[in-house]
Chains A and B, each alone.
Chain A
Amino acid sequence: MAGSGAGGGGRSFSFKVVLLGEGCVGKTSLVLRYCENKFNDKHITTLQASFLTKKLNIGGKRVNLAIWDTAGQERFHALGPIYYRDSNGAILVYDITDEDSFQKVKNWVKELRKMLGNEICLCIVGNKIDLEKERHVSVQEAETYAESVGAKHYHTSAKQNKGIEELFLDLCKRMIETAQVDERARGNGSSQSGTARRGVQIIDDEPQVQSSGGCCSSG
């Protein structure tokens, strides 16, 4: 797992969070909402939502969150490992009106657990709850599934700005916990993970069980 970049002094953490999910589930809108469209003018590629950062202060602990968007089209699935390596957290987004996008989340969970083990904090997010009437993924099914894989489940609406703050706050708290446990396990040694985890190979995944239906590309 990536080093949590826990700096000395007044405890500060740097976390990498990767956004995964099908093309049109609203990943980008979700993160844009969270960052309130306030782009970091220190970034060279400002005004874009592919890479966003947010600073938080949780109980006196400073957290620098780097949110990495990924391309959700099926075509880009095999590029996943390049993006999620060294991630502290993953936000797996599906559209509650699209059963297929939930299946896709399950595939991601399987892959992440296989590749990164239990150190990565997983959040499964049912987005678009403003379209409750068109819901195709039952709340119970989703929550039961999330629990079964050690992930937390959230309901959000990027459109109505619901549930997003809570999602990121919870995730940060869990990542802090994980980082601290990790640190203790290492006997407070320097948690310099530096180059140890570099050099990820792309894995061609087997043509596995296909998910259903279809979805428009990107969103």
Chain B
Amino acid sequence: CPSPSSRLCRTRNWRPFPTWGSVSDTTHPALPPGLLPQPPTPPPQARGVGVHGPPRLLPSAAPGPPLRSMSDAVLAVLAPEKQLARAVEGLARDRSTRLGASVQDFLTLVRGGGVEWRSSHELLSPIRTFLTHTKAQLLQSPALELPSPTLLPDHRLDAVLEWALHRCVLKPLKAVLASRLRRLRVADGSLGQLRENLQMVRERGPSAFPARAPLPSPPDTQRARRKLLQLLRAYSPGTQVTLLLQACKGVYRAMGAAPDGSYGADEFLPVLSFILAQCDLPQLLMEAEYMMELMEPSQLLGEGGYYLTTLQASLALLGRFHEEEPRELCPNFQRALSWRHQPPSERPPGSPCQVRGEVLGGESLMGTPCYPPSPCPLSTPPCPLPTPYPLPYPSPLLAQPAPITTGTCSVPIPHVTPSLPLHLPQCPLSPCPHPPPPPPAHAHSVPDLLCLPGATA
């Protein structure tokens, strides 16, 4: 199909403009004087509008008939936004106006399909382009003059037009777009995978996303779910983003006060992921794409854009949850752990040979001795790999005390970082003979858990 913009320029033959009543019999909108449809003068050439001047989507402004009633006049002054939105909607429904023709043609075109989309971007970006283009045209249209420009500042005017166009374009298309997006995600398997993973996360419980913040209670989750359900039903990405922000606000509220004043992404993302799994709404996968593609581009930089991005990030995380290695933590162990280890080859001699984690409230790993970083004095000679070396003691943190083995030094592994290959410590000597260092000399505000390889009794 030709680009939406070219369709916009292809004007229809001007017909005598219908009386206002024929447009507004049911809605009865009262237009600001500038918006009142007038017989165009002179009628532009069928194809020449784009050449001879900016295409006008609305009939040109001319002295309009008086407002129909006093109440219309009052409304026009008191609720200019509503007035304008209603006027635009009325025109968009009417094929005999240029806006109406353009919108109705576009709807027919999109409904008709006929094009193969390989991604949500391909499917939705023409729609965003159409919205942006049509809005720009409306803003340029001299017919859009309001009785008093001070009543609607520019940025509000833009927002009102955007919203009105969502009603005219997205509302009728939402169902068909949703089913197409769904088809895409069913075809590539991501929807099914996400559904399975949500189930998996629910089964695993809090340990699936260990977080430093308290996890929300079931009533909190239910509240968030209700907001997300509303979001799924809405068609305007603006409304949807507001609902998403309300849901996020509820999540923050449920997390309670942060120890240091406020929570950042480190705490929010795991909690959100946990809640999304509880809510069990895999359709959010398509909805997030819908919002991301159709949202007003300038909004993407703002708060709405940020939390929409976080939603996408969380869904991406959940969508790949099955790739993560299973971890089982005892239920009261909710504090996050982050594991990394530098292979000895990259470790400068004398540098810490350690794997650190973090535990809740200074609680040690079920009696596992915790030490601050200390240098591993033995960096040579190379250790005789691979020598399976079982855990020196069964870790109560592991539901199945699988012997996690590595080189010659072993550590209890209460948590394995997903999506990354776990580089277990490989201490060069077997067994690492250095005795456990003394208890922490300098206390960190948040205790670090350090399990030294081989540092067991």
> Which residues from chain A sit less than 8 Å from chain B, CB to CB?
2, 5, 14, 16, 22-24, 27-29, 31-32, 37, 39, 43-45, 47-51, 53, 66, 68-79, 82-83, 86, 99-100, 192, 194-195, 198-199, 202, 204, 207, 209-219
Contact = CB atoms under 8 A, between A and B. Distances in A.
Contacts of A100: 340, 342
Nearest to B289: A199
Interface in B291-310: 292-293, 297-298, 300-303, 306-307, 309-310
Contact of A82 (B242, B316, B342): B316
Contacts of A199: 119-121, 293
Interface residues of B, number: 71
Contacts of B446: 24, 216, 219
Interface in B314-352: 316-317, 320, 335-343, 346-347, 351-352
19 contacts: A22-B338, A28-B263, A28-B264, A47-B262, A49-B261, A66-B301, A68-B309, A77-B419, A194-B297, A195-B125, A202-B316, A210-B340, A210-B346, A213-B341, A214-B450, A215-B338, A216-B358, A217-B358, A218-B212
Given A23-B338, A215-B356, A217-B337, 5 more contacts: A50-B306, A75-B317, A82-B309, A210-B423, A214-B341
B129 A217 contact: no
Given A48-B252, A218-B212, A213 B356 contact: yes
A5 B300 contact: no
A51 B303 CA distance: 7
Contacts of A79: 269, 313, 316-317
A213 B340 contact: yes
Nearest to A80: B313
Interface string B262-274: 1111111110000
A211 B265 contact: no
A106 to B, nearest CB: 12
B205 interface: no
Contacts of A31: 264
A74 to B, nearest CB: 5
Contacts of A16: 301
A96 to B, nearest CB: 15
B340 A211 contact: yes
B356 A45 contact: no
Contacts of A51: 303, 306-307
A192 B338 CA distance: 40
Contact of A75 (B129, B352, B419, B423): B419
Interface stretch (B86-94, B169-177, B243-251): B243-251
